Amino acid sequence: MSSDNIATLIYMSLLGLAIGGWLFLQSRDSIGRHLQHAMIWGFLFLGVVAAYGLWNDVQRSTVRNQMVQTGSGQIAVPRQRDGHYYLTLDINGAAIPFVVDTGATDMVLTRADARRAGLDPDTLNYIGTANTANGTVRTAPVRLDRVRLGDITDTNVAATVNGGEMQGSLLGMGYLQRWGRIEITGGELILTR
C-alpha cells in the first residue's frame, strides 16, 4: 500500500470511529439494538475499505493483462496503465513474461528467465556488449529451440541473455520482425502473421 492509501485508510477509520461514537452516545437507552446495527455498519465499512485497497490488484489481474487471439495468426495485446505492452511467451515449455520493446534490437532474457527456459546462464559465453540505461552490460547470444505465442510456434530463434541486472525480459525487434505486420491502434498492439 502506498502512503496515500494508508493515510486514506487512517482518515476513514477515524471518521468511522467518530460517527460510531456519536451514535453510541445518542442511543444509550437502546444499546443492544444499536450495537448490533453499529457492528453491521462496521463490517460494511471494512468491506468497502478492503475492496478499495484491493481494486488496483484486481484490475491488474483481469482481462486487461491478457492477450487475445483475434484470429488465426493474429494477436491483440491491450496497453497497460503504465503505457507498455506485456506478453507471455512459451519458451522451451516455460512461460516467460516480456515487456514489448521496439527500441530493443533483440529478444533479451534476464539470467533468471534464461534459466527457466532451460539455459544455464553461468556457462554461456558473454562475448557481446549492450548499452542500456544502466550502462554497458555483457551479453551472450543464444538460440531458443521453441518459442510459441498464441497459435504461432517458431523454432531456432535468436535471442540474447543479459549478463547484468534486469527487472524483466524484453521482446525486441529480433522476434517482432517475424510477424508480417505490427500495428498499434485503439490502445492495442496487434501482431499479424
The residue out of 60, 89, 109 marking a domain boundary is 60
Q: Are residues 24 and 105 in the same domain?
A: no
Average confidence (pLDDT) over 95-105: 92
Q: Are residues 106 and 137 in the same domain?
A: yes
Q: Residue 156: give its domain's CATH number.
A: 2.40.70.10
Spacing of C-alpha 127 from chain mean position: 31
Angle of CA points 111, 113, 119, to nearest 5° = 75
Q: Are residues 81 and 26 in the same domain?
A: no
Cβ–Cβ under 8 Å, residues 57 and 5: no
Q: Are residues 49 and 109 in the same domain?
A: no
Domains of the chain: total? 2
> Where is pLDDT greater, at 187 or 48?
187
What confidence score (pLDDT) does residue 171 get? 95
What confidence score (pLDDT) does residue 127 get? 95
Strand, coil or helix: 8: helix
The residue out of 18, 35, 60 marking a domain boundary is 60
Q: Are residues 165 and 152 in the same domain?
A: yes
Q: Are residues 77 and 26 in the same domain?
A: no
- % of residues, the chain, pLDDT over 70: 91
What confidence score (pLDDT) does residue 46 get? 80
Q: Are residues 116 and 53 in the same domain?
A: no
What confidence score (pLDDT) does residue 63 get? 42
Report CA-CA distances (Å) from 65 to 42, 58, 77, 187: 34, 11, 8, 13
Chain segment 10-40, per-residue pLDDT in tens? 988 988 888 877 777 776 667 677 677 778 8
What confidence score (pLDDT) does residue 122 get? 94
What confidence score (pLDDT) does residue 29 get? 67
Q: Residue 150: give the domain boundaries.
A: 63-192
Q: Are residues 184 and 136 in the same domain?
A: yes
Q: Are residues 42 and 120 in the same domain?
A: no
Chain segment 147-174, per-residue pLDDT in tens? 999 889 999 999 999 998 888 999 999 9
Q: Are residues 133 and 113 in the same domain?
A: yes
The residue out of 60, 80, 102 marking a domain boundary is 60
Chain segment 35-84, per-residue pLDDT in tens? 777 788 888 888 887 777 776 555 545 544 567 777 778 899 999 988 99
Q: Are residues 80 and 51 in the same domain?
A: no
Q: Are residues 19 and 78 in the same domain?
A: no
Is the full-model pTM beyond 0.85?
no
